Amino acid sequence: MNAAPGQLPRGAIRIEDAVKVYDPDGAAILAVDHCTLNIPAGEICMIVGPSGCGKTTLLNAIAGFHSLSSGAIYLDDQLLCGPGKPQADPGPERIVVFQNGALFPWKTNLENVAFGPIMQGSLSRVEAHDKARAMMADAGLEGVEHNYPGEISSGMRRRVEIVRALMNDPKVLLLDEPYRALDSLTKSVMHEALLEIYYKTKVTIFFITHDLEEAIFLGHRVVIMTSRPCKPKKLLEVDIPHPRNYSVLTTKRFRELMDETLEAVHEEALKAFSLGEKEG
């Protein structure tokens, strides 16, 4: 079902002049300010920005959880939301993997993974379970199928959640700081696992983080956002060839890219700090 290696990548996202104004109690807060961003199909696009800058607002607009105030978002040249349709319909071609994980605690890992296709009616229960079992085995998740998410490590949970997302055969994976709560050792394992999945599926990845190292290690491109209101401040092409593994971190080019971006990120972080933004 998933894009086989060599298959044409799909899932290009075009964000055009997106604006989001929150209006709690009449106090208009500009969260996203005329943001334009083109993500080609099959790209890993890393969004880096200070806490509370409005990155998640953008992700929610793509996913269809929130509306845009103006501007438009396209997926493969089809309008998701835009003039006359402020909020996109959530759909299985755009699946979010949340910050602290959102596996259903009352379903076993296998049931969680099999959830999407059963809901969409694309597979029968038995077929979905078979496919889920195969995909979990593929992702090194053998043996935890019948455990509940609460019974496995947080790193495992995150992996289960990504497999659950992939079961829907999405065009875009929307990851909202999925590895934030993990320790750095687990994180490194998760990164390589994610890349492995990416090389198999070539799914477009929209990945929010504020870990610059993570961003440069994973991404084809790193978009550094300004503190609120959020818009792209700097685009960094990461010219380290894929496939990558952790030895990349020690290369000279990696350090150079880090140095090149660190200042821009730090500047925005300071701004956000002085604005007193809450974490999260």
Summarize as ranges the residues that interact with another protein (CB under 8 A): 63-65, 90-92, 94-96, 98, 102, 104-107, 115-116, 119-121, 148-151, 168
Closest approach of Cβ 119 to another protein, in Å? 4
DSSP 41: T
**Which spans in the chain are helix H?**
55-63, 109-120, 125-138, 154-166, 184-201, 212-218, 252-275
Closest approach of Cβ 94 to another protein, in Å? 7
Comparison of 171 and 231: residue with beta carbon closer to another protein: 171
Comparison of 162 and 236: residue with beta carbon closer to another protein: 162
Closest approach of Cβ 128 to another protein, in Å? 11
Comparison of 24 and 150: residue with beta carbon closer to another protein: 150
Closest approach of Cβ 124 to another protein, in Å? 15
Give the pairing type, strands 13-22 and 221-225: unpaired
Comparison of 83 and 105: residue with beta carbon closer to another protein: 105
State the number of CA atoms in the 13 A half-sphere of 144 facing the CB: 24
Closest approach of Cβ 198 to another protein, in Å? 20
Q: Cα separation of 118 and 55, whole Å? A: 31
Comparison of 19 and 102: residue with beta carbon closer to another protein: 102
Tokens of 71: 């501007």
List the one residue out of 134, 132, 190 whose CA is nearest residue 164.
132
Q: Cα separation of 141 and 238, whole Å? A: 31
